[in-house]
Structure 1
Amino acid sequence: MAQAIVYSSTNCSFCKQLKTYLTEQNIAFEERNIDEKEEFAQELNRLGVMSVPLTVIGEKQILGFNPTRIKKALAALEETAQ
């Protein structure tokens, strides 16, 4: 099961860095590329965000490539699961 949802676009360098980081850290994620599916772009818009990458972990939204916030959000998610 994915721990995170990553909204990305095809030519986004920060998106590539984020996906590489998540993969290296063995963090399961579902990628939602807004260039490939209009539905994903609409979801991003409903979240009130107009840029990528956006990582959603539980109720937390993390804009950009921010490993520190990602680790904190994952830790908080694990605490609530216990």
Structure 2
Amino acid sequence: MSNVIIYSQNDCPPCTFIKNYLTEKNVDYTEKNISLNSTYRNEMIDYDAFATPFILLNNEPMYQIDMDKINAELNIE
């Protein structure tokens, strides 16, 4: 099973897009909203990520939305 963590923030259209996409495809994910929790922001910065959405896909950092990689890793057709 894949492990997906999405670091997001309020009023972030790309964050909303990827969360909606994964929900539609019945992919479970953990959301960490940096607007609500500074600990999540610090976790993100530890990966040298400074923009949302920042995605950890099976513990591999994804600094921008790469739909081909997401679909391949999660076996989405």
Q: 1:19-38 counterparts in 2 under 5 A?
A: 19-38=19-38
Report 1 or 2 for greater relative contact order, CA contacts < 8 Å, sequence distance ≥ 6.
Answer: 2
Residue identity opposite 1:19 in structure 2: K
CA contact (8 A) 1:15 1:65 kept: no
Cα distance between partner residues in 2 of 1:3 and 1:28: 8
What residue ranges of structure 1 are gaps of 5+ in the alignment? Answer: 76-82
Per-residue Cα deviation, 1:35-77 (whole angstroms, up to 9, x for no partner): 00000000000011100101111132222333211122335xx
2:66 paired with 1:74: no
Instruction: Report how far residue 2 of structure 1 moved.
Output: 7.0
Over the matched positions of the two proteins, sequence identity in percent amounts to 25
Query: CA 1:52 to 1:28, structure 2 compared with 1: closer, same or farther past 3 Å?
Result: same
Report runs of 4+ in structure 1 exceeding 4 Å deviation.
Answer: none
With structure 2 as the length reference, what TM-score do the two structures score?
0.85
With structure 1 as the length reference, what TM-score do the two structures score?
0.81
CA contact (8 A) 1:54 1:64 kept: yes
Aligned residue for 2:74, secondary structure, equals helix
- Aligned-CA RMSD value: 1.7
Q: 1:36-47 counterparts in 2 under 5 A?
A: 36-47=36-47
